Every structure is written in structure tokens, then in C-alpha cells.
A and B are shown apart, each in its own frame.
Chain A
Amino acid sequence: MKKILLALMVLMAFVLAGCGGDRAKDTADKSSTTQLIRYNVDAEPKTLDPAKSTGLPDGTIELQMLDGLTRYDANQEIKPAIAENWDISEDGLTYTFKLRDAKWSNGDPVTAQDFVYSWLRALAPETASEYAYQFFYIKGAEDYNSGKGKKEDVGLKALDDKTLQVVLNAPAPQFLGLTAFQTYFPVNRKVVEGNPNWFADPKTYVCDGPFKMVSWEHNQKIVMEKNPDYWDAKNVKLQKLEIYLIENLDTSFNMYNNGQLDLMNEINAQELPALQGNKELKILPDASVYFYRFNVTRKPFDDVRVRKALALAIDRKALVESVMKGGQKPAYAFVPFGFKDAGGKDFRENGGDYFQEDLTEAKKLLAEAGYPDGKGFPKATIMFNTQENHQKVAEAIQQMWKKNLGIDVTIQNVEWQVYLDRESKLDYDIARAGWSPDYLDPMSFIDMFVTGGGNNQTGWSNKEYDKLVNEAKSTGDQKIRMTSMHQAEKILMDEMPVTPLFFYTHPVMIKENLKNVIIPPFATYADFKWAYVE
């Protein structure tokens, strides 16, 4: 048991080294500007199979290695990627993508057939992709996924090697943005069919994106190199990219201070106050929401009064100001700021707040549900994935519920993979969650909670809600879409299967000599395609 002492000593050594090491490292770096960026994505990806991955770490890693039909640029505008250009029919239903001459890293050409194959693979019922619903805009896709329809009836066709035709159910302005999203990434048919576990091994991970994987040390790091076969290789200046998979934020911070990391994705909230004024600290916008899921298939969370009582008894302002300390905004609705409504104004500003913290109301609701002053409230647990900030939020909320409602809950941290697994199996009472939109439209938040949706994961179901989502999805008319989505959000907040806590910001530490790293407010953490070291 001398190990802990040793660990402490090593740590002290790190801290001390941190004080003196910086300068030496900096000068060393300048003399030989190697085009290498070291980045920590904070978690081991659950899978790097684009059809099945859901987490932000997974999506971020995939984005460096795979190129979809389109890709977001630095201004979050959709730009051609594998697709050179596209036509949208006048009724907004048929998209025809013209593919450029792009190659896989094994030399095969990227074809329209690859896209058809990949998308159908993600849709196939046996793949059981949680993100399959992202394809439901395409004609016949939902039927195929639910086993009601046939593969051949999905509105996807390779007209020739370089032309892809997609037919939608209804006009969907957000569809183009989706083609830049991970689930829509292509995979190489030959490789996938030859080896179903191709995505687990750097040797068989065939890429069509800016970088290719060289090695993957689990829970440690993934090393990537520039992909010389990438169609846009001339615009990729970075030679090497090291993505660390380290969960511990202190380790990460030490590494950054010691010059072992160039970009830090997440910062321990305890460090933020001391970093104010530091030029390397950037607090970037983030269109994501931090919320708690209630498992409505379990007692007592099947009772909407209990869910509401819990939601109303959380002091969000204190959470944001004293615990998170990163300029986050308290959330009283589900869709964050940063999405355009029909009139061009902000969706959230138009929608406003749907509820308010109210202790007397919360107590009243809890009493009505049969637990006056928390008496007889069953044993419940808040589950979260291991991370210091989540732990603090959970501890703070645990105490708020105890003080305000007299309810005792326990908190439990689990590893990222276990967390994802238990969440999708509805094996929890209350679970911490975060949601970052997959494309820039409120729909990315709203369609999560349709009955049986892959990312619903609360067991909640509401017919009226499903109807509104369907309505919004079946038209290209922004006015109708947005009105339906506002209404749907109101139902969601009335029923409260999830309670929003705050809207994220994205504090990062980035070395000043890194240029052109895109840190988008949604979908992924970072894009290094255009990045370089000065």
C-alpha cells in the first residue's frame, strides 16, 4: 500500500515540474515546428464504428478519420466534402449528390455504392444503431429499421459510381447538415464485409478523411497521421495528431501544463477561477444542454408530480455560479440558445422559460404524490459517468433534494461504457446526461424523445408529442416546423421525463501557437482538418 504514497510523490513531482518545465518545452518546440497536435478527448470511445457510435468522444475521433458527403467549416456552414456538389429537386424531396474522385486509405475509390451500403448498414435492424432514427427522413427508412419494410424500398440509390440519389419522406431543411454527421459517414464495403470487427484495429480501419489511425492504446491514446490519400490532402498541414483518452481532468491539466498536451477539451471547474485572464483559456459557445434523465418505468419516477417536484427543487443558479463556474446559463427549457427560429430570431428567446424553481410548489407536488416531506420515498440513485464535474453537480443536487424535499438519494459514478450501456438498458433511476446537437436545428433535441427513440432512454412516451414531431418532420415550412417544435418542447417540460439543469459553455485551454482548430458548438468537440502549429 505504499503505492498511494508513490502516487502522491509522482504527482508532486509533476506539479513541481509544471512550474519550471514550460519554458524549456516551448523553446524546444519552436526550434523544430513539428506539425503535431496533442489533444485529450477525455474518454475511451465506446466504438469507432460510425454506424453505432453515439458519444461525443467517438464522433470527434471519427471526424478526423472519416469524411462524409459534407463537412462543416469554421463558420459552421455546410461545405462540400466527398460530395462535390448536389442538386435539390424543387419539391425538396430528392437530393442528388455528385461525388468527387476520392480514395479510401487502402486505395479503393469512394463510391456512391459505399454510401448506400453504409447507410443501409446503419439502418439494418440487426445493427441496432441507437442513431438509426437520424435516417428516418429518408423514404422507407423507418419501416426498414423497424422490420416492417424491405431494404430495397429505402429511398437510396447509386445512379452510377459517382452519383447518389436520396429521396426523402418530406422536405427537411436539416437533412443536408446531417450528411456531415457521424452516423452518415461512409464505410468501405469490401473491408467491412471481409472483417466485421474492422473498426477495432488501427490496421484495418480504412479512412477517407484527413487523418488515418496509426495506433490505439486503449484508455491511453490514439495516434493518427496525415492521410496522403485524402482528396483534400493539400489543405491538411498537420502531420500527426495524438488524441489522448484520459478521463481524469487533473492528469489532463498536469499534462497540459507540462507541455504534453496542446489542447484541453475539458477543464476541472476547480481550476477555472484561477485561470481567469489566462490567454490560453477560451470560453467558447456550446449549444448543448446538461440534464438529468428520470427512468419513468421505475417507481416513483413514473409519477409526473415526483419528477416535477425534483426538478423544481434544484437551485440551478447556484449550480452554475458556484459549482460549474464556466459562464453556463441555468436551463428552464430543453433546447439551448443558438438555433434560429422561423423569423430569424433565436428559438430559445422566442420560447422562453417553461418552468421556475419553486420550493412550496415542489413540496406540494411531492405530498400529492404520496411522499409528504419525503417520507416513504423509495431508495434512488443518481448515476453519472466518472468525472469530477459531474460528481460535484450530483453531490450538490443530492444535498438540495435532501434539504429542500427531505429526500435521500445516493450517487454512483460508473465508467463511460458502463454508463452508456446502463442508460440504454434503462438500468438506472436518475441519470446525468448531456446533449449536443448533431446538426444546427432544434429538431436534434426534440426528436430524441419520441416513443422508442434510440436516444430517448427514459421509457417516456407521449402520443401528442410524437404527433407534433411528425408534423414538424413532414414539412419544409419553417413556420409550421418551429411552431410544432415549440409545442412539443412545452409538452416535454410539462411531463418532465428529463429535467434540464444548465446550458453548457465550452471552456478549453489551447496553446497560442495552434491555428485553425475548429471547436464547433455542436456535434463534435473539435475538427483538426485545417489545423496547424505555428
Chain B
Amino acid sequence: MTGKMEITPQMFKPVERDALAAEEIACPSVGYWQDVWLRLKQNKLAMTGLVIIALLALLALVGPHLSAHSYDDQDLQMVNQPPGGGYWFGTDSLGRDLFTRVCYGARISLAIGLLTSVICMVIGVLYGGISGYLGGRVDEIMMRFVEVIYSIPFLLYVILLMVLLEPGLKSIFIALGIVYWQNMARVVRGQVLSLKEQEYIYAARLLGAGTWRILLRHLIPNTMGPIIVSMTLLVPEAIFTEAFLSFLGLGVSAPMASWGVLASDGIQGLRNYPWQLFFPALFISITMLAFNFVGDGLRDALDPRLRR
């Protein structure tokens, strides 16, 4: 072959470089929580749930002021009035406005749901975190204790506690809080057990971080996902349990009304005044659904394996 192909710099022409385009990244950089939010937003059910919860909270806040009646105002001339006119949801057997009572009940039921789940979270996270991180014999003893409590039928236990504590809002918080934290503790322990073998924990330990620091700064924040999911699912459960307790006469005391109390009162008039049961039951159902949707949505959104 004669004449080698000469490659000269002249043969090359620099490509036009667009500085901006080079900087552009095909996929936006998103943090973990942003990603969760993005994925949650795409879940229609979960969003519906969130909106409903927001509306319920709004109703609980302003609802009682919308009506001319107070939640404990009795008008014995106006008992068992059907919905309409001055009483949007009708009145109960003592002439109290059901709309105001349902709104007021929302306050109590939502408060019970949220507070109980917060109490459970605090107890459960600490207990589970300590148990999982320390491991060994401590873990063994702490978990056996949880299992012992777990083996007692929970309703029996709540009822006994309620009898002991005298019915009232405070005792409901305590009773439900005492009963429901174990699940949370187990979830957190499981997470911590697997996380504590990770390299970054070793690193933290090598750098001399103490147990509490590792627990609070590294382990617990990284278990947040499952914790939040259990919390959301616990809210409706607590509301339902309270409704059930009120149904048995162990709930908040009159004239205060939670949805459970209202349903329990309403069922007496089921045959003749069905709206007295319908409205509280409707709100209980809506709330349960909303929280369950959000909980399910969060579970999917928080699962790193489902991350794109």
C-alpha cells in the first residue's frame, strides 16, 4: 500500500459545544423525600385520602362554629328532628344538633387517633431501637416482654385499663397508647437490626460516636419510612378502637361526644331515626378509608426498592 493516509489536524473540526446542554442532566436530581412526595402525588387514592383528611381537620376546627347550636345544647322540644332546616343532620334523642356533635366528635376522634399514634411512636421507637441496637440478652428480654403483652387479648386489656382509670379522654389516650406500641417496637427493632450492620454505622462507631448518638442520628432517621407507615395505619385503628369502646360504654363521658359515642347513641333509634346512626357512621367510614389510602400510598412511596 502506497501512500499512507495522512491524518492531519486539519481534517478535524471541533464540534460545536453547547455549554448549557452539557450542563443539563437528563433526570432531575431528587432527594429521598422529594422522591417520596413525587411518587405519592401520582397515587390518586392516597391524594384523595390526604384531601379528605385535610377537609376533616378543617371541619373539626371550624365546624362547631358554623352552626347556631352548641354541641351540648339540649332542646327537649326538638328531639329526634330529621335533617333539614335549622338542623343540617337532624337532632338526637335529647334535641342536640347532630351536625355540631359530629364536628365536635371529629375533634375528639381525630385527637384520639393522632395523639395515640404519636404516643405509640415515641414508646415504640425508643423501645424497639434500644432493643435492636443493643441486641443480645437485652434484646431477648425486651422482646419476650413484648410478646407476653402481645399474647394477652388486647380488648380485654383495654377494658380492664379503662375500668381502672375511670372513663375519660385522658384514660383513652393512656389505654390505647399502652396497648398499641408493641407493633411499632417490633417494626423498629427489625429495621435497626438490619441497619446496624451497615458500613456507615461501623464508620460512626470507629469515629467514636456513642450509642445514643448512633441510635438517634443514624438509625432512627433511616427507619423513618416504616415508622410513618405504621403511624398512619394506627390512626384509624385507634379511632375505631375508641368507637368500639364508646360503643361498650367505656369511651368519653357525656356530654362530650366522639363518633363512637354518637354511633352508639344513634343505634338506639335505628328503626325510627336512622340519621342518628348514619352520619356518625359515615364519618367514621370516610376517615378510616382516607387514612388507610394514605397509609398504603406512603408505604409504596417510601419503599426504596420501588424507587425509579
A binds B: yes
**B-binding residues in A (CB < 8 A):** 1, 3-4, 7-8, 11, 15, 249-250, 268-271, 273-274, 315, 318-319, 321-323, 386, 388, 391-392, 394-396, 398-399, 402, 410-413
- Within B78-123, the residues touching A (CB, 8 Å) are 79-80, 93-95
A15 in complex: contacting residue of B167, B268, B270, CB < 8 Å: B270
Partner of B271, one of A271, A319, A322, A396: A271
Which are the 3 A-B pairs with shortest beta-carbon distances? A322-B76, A318-B76, A270-B269
The distance in angstroms between the C-alpha atoms of A15 and B271, with both chains bound, is 8
B77 interface hit (Cβ, 8 Å): yes
Q: Mark contacts of B153-191 with chain A using CB atoms, 8 A cut-off: 1 yes-contact digit, 0 otherwise.
A: 000000000000011000000000000000000000000
The CA of A268 and the CA of B167, in the complex, are separated in Å by 24
Give chain B residues whose Cβ lies under 8 Å from the Cβ of A412: 166-167, 253
Q: Which of chain B's residues has its CB closest to A386's CB?
A: B249
- Interchain CB contact under 8 A, A322 and B79: yes
Give the CA-CA distance A8 to B263 in the complex, in Å.
11
- A90 CB, min distance to chain B CBs, angstroms: 57
Q: What is the chain B residue whose CB lies nearest that of A8?
A: B281
Flag if B76 contacts A273 (CB, 8 Å): no
Min distance, Cβ A470 to any Cβ of chain B, angstroms: 42
| CA distance in complex: A4, B247 (Å) | 9
Least CB distance, B82 to chain A, in whole angstroms:
13
Q: Tell me if B287 is interfacial: C-beta within 8 Å of chain A.
A: no
| Category for how many chain B residues contact A | 20 to 34
CB of B273 within 8 A of chain A? yes
The one of B94, B249, B272 that contacts A399, using a Cβ cutoff of 8 Å: B94
Residues of B within 8 A of A318 (CB): 76-77
Is the CB–CB distance between B76 and A396 below 8 Å? yes
30 A-B pairs with C-beta separation under 8 A: A1-B240, A3-B244, A4-B240, A4-B247, A11-B270, A15-B270, A15-B271, A249-B268, A250-B267, A250-B270, A269-B93, A270-B80, A270-B93, A270-B269, A270-B272, A273-B272, A274-B271, A318-B76, A318-B77, A319-B76, A322-B76, A323-B79, A395-B74, A396-B94, A398-B255, A399-B72, A399-B73, A399-B94, A412-B167, A412-B253
CB distance from A181 to the nearest CB of B (A): 33
Which applies to chain A's interface (DSSP): helix, strand, loop or mixed? helix
- In the complex, residue of chain B having the shortest beta-carbon distance to the beta carbon of A322: B76
Known: A395-B255, A398-B255. A323 touches B271 (CB 8 A): no
Please measure, in the bound complex, the distance between the C-alpha atom of A486 and the C-alpha atom of B55, giving whole angstroms: 63
Q: Is B298 an interface residue (CB 8 A)?
A: no
By a CB distance below 8 angstroms, the chain A residues around B167 are 412
A394 to B167, CA, bound (A): 16
Chain B, Cβ-Cβ closest to A250: B268
B237 touches A268 (CB 8 A): no
Bitwise interface map of B from 34 to 78 toward A, beta carbon under 8 Å scored 1, else 0: 000000000000000000000000000000000000001110110
- Interface-centre pick from A4, A321, A413 (highest chain B CB count, 10 A): A4
Nearest chain B CB to A12's CB is how many angstroms away? Answer: 9
User: How many angstroms between the C-alpha atoms of A250 and B244 in the bound complex?
Assistant: 17
Cα–Cα, bound, A412→B240 (Å): 22
Residues in B neighbouring A398, C-beta threshold 8 A:
254-255
Given that A1-B244, A15-B270, A318-B76 are contacting pairs, would A323 and B94 also be in contact in the complex, using a CB cutoff of 8 Å? yes
Tell me the bound Cα distance from A402 to B255 in angstroms.
Answer: 11
In the bound complex, do residue A315 and residue B271 qualify as a contact, i.e. CB atoms below 8 Å apart? Answer: no
Q: How far is the CA of A318 from the CA of B73 in the complex (A)?
A: 15
B250-294 vs A, CB cutoff 8 Å, 1 = contact: the mask equals 000111000000000001111111000000010000000000000
A365 to B210, CA, bound (A): 68
| B243 located at the interface, meaning its Cβ lies under 8 Å from any Cβ of chain A in the complex | yes
CB-nearest residue of chain B to A388: B268
Q: Give bound CA distance, A346 to B240, whole Å.
A: 54
Task: Please indicate the chain A residues that have their CB under 8 angstroms from the CB of B247 in the complex.
Answer: 4, 7
Contact of A392 among B77, B94, B253 (CB under 8 A): B94
Compute how far the CA of A477 lies from the CA of B255 in the bound complex, rounded to whole angstroms: 51
For B77, B244, B255, the residue with the greatest tally of chain A CB atoms inside 10 Å of its CB is: B255
B232 interface residue (CB < 8 Å to A): no
**Which A-chain residue is minimally distant from B249 (CB atoms)?**
A413
Q: Is B241's CB within 8 Å of the partner chain A?
A: yes
Q: Which residues from B are CB-within-8-Å of A413?
A: 249
Question: Once bound together, how far apart are the Cα atoms of A82 and B213, in whole Å?
Answer: 86
B115 CB, nearest partner CB in chain A, Å: 18
Q: Is the CB of A323 within 8 A of B272?
A: no
A402 to B272: give the CA distance in the assembly, Å.
Answer: 29
Complex-state Cα separation, A268 to B270, whole angstroms:
11
Q: Is the CB of A1 within 8 A of B76?
A: no
Report how far A4 CA is from B246 CA in the complex, Å.
Answer: 11
Cβ contacts under 8 Å, B76 to chain A: 315, 318-319, 321-323, 396
**Residues of the A chain whose Cβ atoms lie less than 8 Å from the Cβ of B77:** 318, 322
Question: In the complex the two chains form, is A411's CB within 8 Å of B253's CB?
Answer: yes
User: In the complex the two chains form, is B255's CB within 8 Å of A322's CB?
Assistant: no
* Shortest beta-carbon distance from B170 to chain A in Å: 13
* Least distance between B61 CB and chain A CB atoms (Å): 25
Chain A residue with Cβ nearest B95: A322
A393 to chain B, nearest CB (A): 10
Bound CA–CA A69/B184 (angstroms): 67
B166 partner residues in chain A, CB cutoff 8 A: 412
Partner of B254, one of A321, A323, A411: A411
Alpha-carbon distance between A273 and B271 when the two chains are bound, in angstroms: 11
B241, closest chain A residue (CB): A1
Report Cα–Cα, A87/B100, bound state, in Å.
Answer: 68
Separation of A402 and B166 alpha carbons in the complex (Å): 22
Q: Are A270 and B254 in contact (CB under 8 A)?
A: no
Residue of B nearest to A415 (CB): B249
Q: Smallest Cβ distance from A504 to chain B, in angstroms?
A: 19
Closest to B78 in A: A322
CB distance from A144 to the nearest CB of B (A): 39
User: What residue of chain A has the Cβ atom nearest to residue B256's Cβ?
Assistant: A410
C-alpha gap A229/B267 in the complex (Å)? 46
Instruction: List 16 additional contacts besides A271-B271, A392-B94, A411-B254; criterion CB under 8 Å.
Output: A1-B240, A3-B244, A4-B243, A4-B247, A249-B268, A270-B273, A273-B272, A274-B272, A322-B94, A322-B95, A323-B76, A395-B94, A396-B94, A399-B74, A399-B94, A412-B166
Q: Which B-chain residue is minimally distant from A396 (CB atoms)?
A: B94
